[in-house]
Amino acid sequence: MGGFAGYPRTMARDLVLVGSGHSHAQVLESLALEPIPGFRATVIVDSPIAIYSGMVPGFVAGQYRVDELEIDIPALAERAGARVVVARATRIDPSHRQIVVANETPVPFDLASANIGSTVAGLDLPGIRDFALPTRPIANLVHLLQQRITELEKGDDRSTYRVVVVGGGAGGVELAFTLQARLSRETDRPLLVQLVHSGKRLMTGYPSGLARRIYRNAARRGIRIEPERRVVGADEGIVRFQTGGPLAFDTLLWVVGAASYSLFRDSGLPTDSSGFVRTRSTLQVEGEDDLFAVGDCATLDEFPETPKAGVYAVRQGPVLMRNLRARAAGNALESYRPQSDFLTLLNLGDGNALGAKWGRSFEGRWVMWLKDRIDRSFMRRFQVSVR
Ligand SMILES: Cc1cc2nc3c(=O)[nH]c(=O)nc-3n(C[C@H](O)[C@H](O)[C@H](O)COP(=O)(O)OP(=O)(O)OC[C@H]3O[C@@H](n4cnc5c(N)ncnc54)[C@H](O)[C@@H]3O)c2cc1C
């Protein structure tokens, strides 16, 4: 079984948390209540502030202030008695039991976990990095969108402001609706919001009733939706597609699927074909008993189709915590099984939201009330300081 139960009590072992996603926030919360005996914790983060993506559309709509989406990792770590290293982890080296970080000395570990999230696919297409606003890193998106909205509110140009949102998943839909709601409320400029995606229909994998509600609500608000529009590249103000003519834009939002950071491939760890690290149902990395990985950055060998969505990272948090404790004590680990269905809630930006669960869909102000309640109560657990 292994573990650390046999180590002398006087020798502190190192638990290192790489990244500060939804699962690690819960680990820090738990460590604050009950440290792991004999272990000192370190958290390595590329930014001291983590952003809760579930509330980003609400921020775009003007419903939340930026500080309401932020988790202050050093404050959370302090409560947990954990050291914070603010640096990008560039390699995990299990054979030397260390995490290599940019511009800092490597951080040794006895037990480690990665929860670094994902980046956006397609950034290497010509012009996308230069002319599109990608949704990752999400902190940059929040900052850049705020800048655009402020410029637009102040400007005196009266021509139509054109927004093109690329991506037919939940993020693309929410950002198209919430940006439309915000801009139509706060500027007098005529507005054209277009949501384009490469599939035949929006939100594949979700109930068809939800897609119908999206089309109906989009038509009501003048949001144009175009399917089967695969982007091949962008120039300043113009985005081009495999089929159909180009579209002109003032803001191009890039909300296509998740892609892995290169960290795991660079570390020589086992990955799936997309570079996400492969994990067992215990959340341990394949072949590495003292290294765990959770959230978007990992693919479960037994459930490779699990969507890259925050809800899974949230549910993995308590299992990860129990398994870290079990591994530290030399006890048996439990298995995580992803839920087959989850409650989807899409903020439309005007006080209404759409939802789906168990094959059914619904909408209304009560759905937005529910989403707000769930998101705020999740965030309340981690907002330990008001800056
Ligand atoms: C606009 C938008 C809305 C969304 N809404 C929802 C929603 O309502 N519900 C839902 O389930 N999903 C939603 N998603 C998807 C969701 O954002 C991701 O699935 C989720 O954030 C993944 O969580 P995570 O815990 O794996 O990592 P993240 O929340 O991405 O956290 C990873 C953290 O690690 C840090 N990090 C990254 N690399 C390194 C490194 N090398 N070294 C150190 N630190 C690092 C990052 O800065 C970040 O703070 C949305 C996505 C977008 C873009």
Output the six-digit token pair for 95: 């054979």
Q: Are 217 and 353 in contact (CB under 8 A)?
A: no
CB burial class (10 A; 0-12, 13-18, 19+) of residue 236? exposed
Copy the structure tokens of residue 11. 């020798």
Q: CB neighbours (10 Å) of residue 251?
A: 20
pLDDT of residue 51: 92
Q: Whose CA is nearest to atom 29 of ligand 1?
A: 21
User: Is residue 385 over pLDDT 80?
Assistant: no
Q: Write the single-letter amino acid at 303.
A: F
339 Cβ closer than 6 Å to some ligand 1 atom:
no
168 Cβ below 6 A of ligand 1: no
- The domain 13-46+87-118+260-329 is placed in CATH, from the list 3.40.220.10, 3.50.50.60, 3.40.50.2300, 3.40.50.880, at 3.50.50.60
CA–CA gap between residue 191 and residue 184 (Å, rounded): 7
Residue 8: the pLDDT is 52
**2 pLDDT higher than 70:** no
| pLDDT band at residue 6 under the 50/70/90 scheme | low
Ligand 1 pocket, residue 313 CB under 6 Å: yes
From 1-10, 174-183, 332-341, the region with the lowest mean pLDDT: 1-10
Best of 24, 29, 53, 267 to mutate for ligand 1, by most ligand atoms within 8 A of CB?
53
Percent of the chain topping pLDDT 90: 84
Query: Which of the pair, 5 or 379, is modelled with greater confidence?
Result: 379
pLDDT (tens digit, 9 = 90+) per residue, 104-157? Answer: 899 999 999 999 999 999 999 999 999 999 888 888 888 888 888 888 878 788
Centre of ligand 1 to C-alpha 359, Å, is: 26
**What pLDDT sits at residue 3?**
56
For residue range 350-369, list pLDDT tens digits in order: 999 999 999 999 999 999 99
**Mean pLDDT, range 331-355, rounded to an integer:** 95
Q: What is the per-residue pLDDT for 341?
A: 83
Cβ atoms of 202 and 173 within 8 Å: the answer is yes
Residue 173 pLDDT > 90, yes or no?
yes
For the chain, the domains span 13-46+87-118+260-329, 128-256
What is the mean predicted confidence (pLDDT) over 288-296? Answer: 98
- Please report the pLDDT score of residue 186 as a whole number: 85
CATH for the stretch 128-256: 3.50.50.60
Tell me: pLDDT of 387 over 50. no
Cβ of 308 closer than 6 Å to ligand 1, yes or no, is yes
Which is the closest atom of ligand 1 to the Cα of 138?
Answer: 53
Structure-token pair, residue 282: 């215990």
Q: CA of 270: how far to CAs of 175, 278, 287, 288, 293, in Å?
A: 34, 6, 8, 10, 12
Tokens of 248: 């002109």
pLDDT band (50, 70, 90) for residue 386: very low
**Residue with CA closest to ligand 1 atom 16:** 310
Q: Looking at residues 45-72, what average pLDDT do you find?
A: 94
Q: How confident is the prediction for the chain on average, in pLDDT?
A: 93
pLDDT at 140: 84
Model pLDDT, residue 1: 44
By percentage, how much of the chain surpasses pLDDT 70? 97
Least confident of 34-43, 54-63, 134-143, 303-312: 134-143
Does ligand 1 come within 6 angstroms of the Cβ of 50?
Answer: yes
